[in-house]
Amino acid sequence: MMVDISRRNALILGAVGVGGVAIGSTGLIVSQSTGSTSSSGFTTGNALALPPELRSTKGVLTVALESSAQKITVAGREVRALSYNGGLPGPTLRVRAGDILNVSLHNALTDPSNLHVHGLHVSPQNNSDNMFVTIDAGDTFEYRYELPADHPPGVYWYHPHHHELVADQVFGGLYGAIIVEDPEEIAATRERVLVISDITITASGTVPAATQMEKMAGREGELVLVNGQLTPELTARPGERERWRVINACTSRYLRLQLDGQQLTLLGIDSGRFETARDVGEVVLAPGNRADLLVTAQSGTSILRAVRFDRGSSGGMMGGGGSSTSADVSLATLVVEGASTEGLPDVPVQPLPRDLRSATVTAQRELVFAMGMGGGMGGGTMSATINNLTFDAARVDTTVQFDSVEEWMLTNTSMLDHPLHLHVWPMQVVELGGQPAESVIWQDVVNIPARSTVRVRIAFNDFSGKTVYHCHILDHEDAGMMGIIQAL
């Protein structure tokens, strides 16, 4: 079962990387020249635009969101896709620990939907982060999320989570950022939210349905966007320190991010904040992961690239071919020129993360992730299981004791990587491929490399109730690679 997984160690350890030009199966190649327009009508090289921001005041943020299919602008071209409030991505929501976030979600789609606040440590019950809410077409639901007073600062996001429709709705354009602010400010010249997503647009300006092969591997779009733009341009002066809040909102694509020639400092991955910021050369984000980065600008022009990442192969299940190695993609251009600026104060030391490696473990369990084809030789439906079971909304798969600590062995028997996302409670990685973790690593999306194992520990504190865990390659989740967990 164990294999050499050194090619993916960076994902767990929070390493940093870069991305490039989108080349899809149709042969579309996008120019990087400033303000240029390709033969397909997509514009590249424009100045980076940030999503609109909504901030809490006096401890409350009240937001109205509408999910709809409409004509929106993607990379300078008018297309018909999905969006929150007519934007791609939706508005950025900024809150603080202890705040109340009220979201009135109107579903203007033709299909049912709902909302998941990915990574937030909030209740899974009632009208909070409840995965069992269904908002039918035309209906509105009032969400209320109460953040604990000690909620970790960091980068989070929101997206739909209605089973069997998640991949289509996220791929179609439904996602947005959530920022939980730091209790003590980290000095930066400016802050940028970078929501990275991928999408495929047909010649008629619509988003096509995924093929069975794409669902098996996990679909990857022909266009890789940053805030809905293709290879936008960012400008800075030498010595400026920017804070980049990076979200991998792709349905299946891994992002091995690199920014050659620039100084990168990683504050944390997901809700996990390092005690001391780390200088890095690349960061790998599985679907659903986020990175909190500082970029200290050095003179010159640098390309933010998503470098090739091998996440395995689905060929054996589909009768040949099927490599899931993402091609290099240019994501953005950073131009640093002008007079140098004075340096900023050092990054303050963060609170020491909780370490469960010395905690008393009350239970141990194993989750086995497997894939295959049903229906006989040469055809049938995709099988995506956890412990040989596909998702059943009427079945509780895992019952845990409230305020306990458990150790889970995550075993992947398939030839594709599977990133596990557990709602509500983050996971501490304690062992990867048989090797113990050298530091405290907290994530809510943990990659399980093909034919390998990962061990995590979880503290089921603060909230009881029922929620889910699943593969965050969203086509796999929709195919059944999801289970229900209940804390009693």
Q: What is the DSSP string of 307-323?
A: E-EEEEE-HHHHTS--E
Q: What is the pLDDT of residues 225-243, one digit of tens each?
A: 999 999 999 999 999 999 9
pLDDT at 325: 60
Measured distance CA(143)–CA(102) in Å, rounded? 6
- Domain spans of the chain? 356-487
Please answer whether residues 264 and 302 qualify as being in contact, where contact means their C-beta atoms are separated by less than 8 angstroms.
no
Smallest CA-to-CA distance from 264 within 348, 355, 352, 334 is with 334
pLDDT at 343: 86
pLDDT along the chain (488 residues), means of 10: 36 33 28 49 94 98 98 94 97 98 98 98 98 98 98 98 98 98 95 98 95 94 97 97 98 97 96 94 98 97 96 63 68 97 92 94 98 60 92 98 98 97 98 93 97 98 98 97 98
pLDDT at 440: 94
pLDDT at 382: 78
Smallest CA-to-CA distance from 167 within 223, 117, 216 is with 216
Smallest CA-to-CA distance from 38 within 230, 290, 289, 274 is with 230
Q: What is the pLDDT of residues 51-69, one digit of tens each?
A: 999 999 999 999 999 999 9
Residue 122: both structure tokens together: 């909030």
> Does pTM surpass 0.85?
yes
pLDDT at 326: 64
Mapped onto helix, strand or coil, the DSSP state of residue 168 is helix
CATH number of 356-487: 2.60.40.420
pLDDT at 40: 73
